[in-house]
Amino acid sequence: VGGHPKPQEGPMKPSGVKRILAIGSGKGGVGKSTVSSNLAVALAKAGRKVGLLDADIYGPSQPRMMGVNKRPASPDGKTIIPLQAHGVTLMSIGFMLEEGKAVVWRGPMLMGALQQMLGQVEWGELDVLLVDLPPGTGDVQLTLCTKSELSGAIVVSTPQDVALIDARKALDMFATLKTPVLGLIENMSMFVCPDCGSQHEIFGHGGVKAEAEKMGVPLLGSLPIDLETRLAGDSGTPVAAGEGPMAEAYARIAQGLIE
C-alpha cells in the first residue's frame, strides 16, 4: 500500500476467486453502491463466500456503507489483508486514499490501483467477488473488462430517462467488451407512502423493464425508494443484513444470481 500505484503486466484474476461480477451504472447516484453492498451481504447470508471490491474511484462509498474504514494491514509490504464486514471480505479504493482528497489519476495509475486491489489483496477462496464500478464507461471499466476475466456484469438504473440513456451506454460498453450482462436491476422504482400506503412512481414507470426486454437480458429485481435502505447504508449496516421486506427483496435477487 502507499505510493503511486503502477500498472504491471499479467492477468488480474485472483486465483481463489471463482466468479467476478461487476456492478455498473451509467449515471452516478442511482444506487449502484447501495445495491452492491446489499447484494454482497445477501449472498453472504445465503452461505456464499463473498468479496466486495469498491473500485468507485471518484466516490468510494463502501467504507461508509459497510461500516469499516481503516487502512488494511500489509505485513510484508506487498500483500494486503482485506477487511471483513457483515460476512463479506471487503477492499475499497477508499482505504488507500486520503478522505476529502480528489483522485486525479491518469489511466495507468488507475490501472495500477486496480491491479493492486485484485492481485495483491489476499482475497482467499471466494465463490463470488462483486466489483462496485465507478459510474460511466471509463478507464476502470475498460481495464476490468479486458484484464480480469469478468464472469458478468449487472447494470443498475432508476426508471428515469436520463439514467436509462446512460445505462444503455454501459450496456453497450459491456457488449463491445464481450462481458456478458447478467441483467438489470431497477432501483428507486417507486415510493410507497408510509402514512397512507399510496404508491408514487417518482422516477417514472417501466423504463428499466422495457430496456431489459429490448436488450434481451433479465430484469433481476425492482427495489423501491426506501427510507430504511438509505438510513441503513448511512449507518454502515446494509438493510439486507437485517430482516424485513428489503432484506427479502435482496435475498431474492441474490438467489437468482446463485442459480
Residues annotated as binding site for ATP?
A: 26-33
Of 218, 169, 160, 164, the residue nearest 188 (C-alpha): 160
Q: 55 with 134: CB under 8 angstroms?
A: yes
Tell the smallest beta-carbon distance from residue 122 to ligand ADP (Å).
Answer: 26
Tell the smallest beta-carbon distance from residue 77 to ligand ADP (Å).
Answer: 32
Separation CA 8–CA 112 (nearest Å): 7
Nearer to ligand ADP, 51 or 233 (CB): 233
Provide the residue count of the chain: 259
Of 43, 45, 66, 110, the residue nearest 258 (C-alpha): 43
Nearer to ligand ADP, 5 or 224 (CB): 224
How many other C-beta atoms are found inside a 10 Å radius of the C-beta of residue 200? 11
Residue 59's SS3 state is coil
Nearer to ligand ADP, 1 or 103 (CB): 103
> Greatest CA span in the chain, whole angstroms?
58
Nearer to ligand ADP, 40 or 223 (CB): 223
Nearer to ligand ADP, 80 or 170 (CB): 170
The three three-digit cell numbers of residue 54, written as one number: 469498491
Interacting residues with ligand ADP (CB under 6 A): 25, 28-34, 61, 187-188, 223, 225-226, 229-230, 233
Residue 194's SS3 state is coil
Tell the smallest beta-carbon distance from residue 172 to ligand ADP (Å).
Answer: 18
Binding-site entries: 26-33
Tell the smallest beta-carbon distance from residue 73 to ligand ADP (Å).
Answer: 27
Tell the smallest beta-carbon distance from residue 40 to ligand ADP (Å).
Answer: 13
